Structure 1
Amino acid sequence: MTPPKLPSTTDGDNAFMRGRLEKAKGFLESAETLFELGAEDGILVPTSPHADSFVDLCVDAGNAAADAICIGKTGRYSSGASHNDGVSILQDATDRPTAKHLETLVRVKNKAAYSARSVDASDIHNAGAAARALVAVAEDLV
């Protein structure tokens, strides 16, 4: 019987960790700018032309923040082709609640970036909250 394949990781140093954090912050700042551009009465609605881009940038911010967190905790980050691998690596490095934020983002990635369907109000809210939470955790480590 073949053992299950473990997620692929790569070593990361402090410079790489800081670089991934800066990217995470930049993606989140860009997402927030799109939120402001597309918001109606302070709410980004799914019919906004910026809704999918906002969510996609939140996913990018969360992935970059997760890399920074993993490097800060273990010296390694996810380097596999599957974003789902990043969730298990982040959970091993931190805890289930932190990994749940990345799981939320990974779950909506295809819908925001590759599908003909647009994100819904729940996706917008959850992606923003998850990205902000992961960036905050990463900032606390650096």
Structure 2
Amino acid sequence: MSMVSEFRSFIAKGNVVDLAVGIIIGGAFTGIVNSLVNDVVMPVVGVVIGGIDFSDYFFALSSTVTAPTLEAAKAQGPVFAYGKFLTVIINFLILAWIIFLMVKGVNRIRAAEEKKPADATPAPPPADVQLLTEIRDLLKTRA
């Protein structure tokens, strides 16, 4: 088997195509989730916590650092910029919570779909099975 035919059979497998579709949809979904977090949730969080911005919080690791902002402090010397890390953690927790709520909603919809009762009347048996059943019943009445 040549390398090209092996590659072709690998690509043709369903799970590879499913993975590719998942990555493409995931990329598009990232934009939606980022907009939801940045444009809808974070302004509300900013109002709730009083507009505090953690991104400029830092510890100076040298006595030469006297600047009030992180960027200026980095230019003066070494700093421990814990504020950006704290902001990323908060954003992650908010994002994880939103995704959890979305997955929970989808799971609720799936569960409701699965609970829908199937048709109450079963499909009639095929004609040959029905004919054999009638023959069996006739033979039972003769015996």
TM-score where L is the length of structure 2: 0.26
User: Looking at CA atoms only, which structure, 1 or 2, has the larger radius of gyration?
Assistant: 2
The higher-RCO structure (CA 8 Å, 6+ apart) is 1
**Whose strand fraction is larger, Structure 1's or Structure 2's?**
1
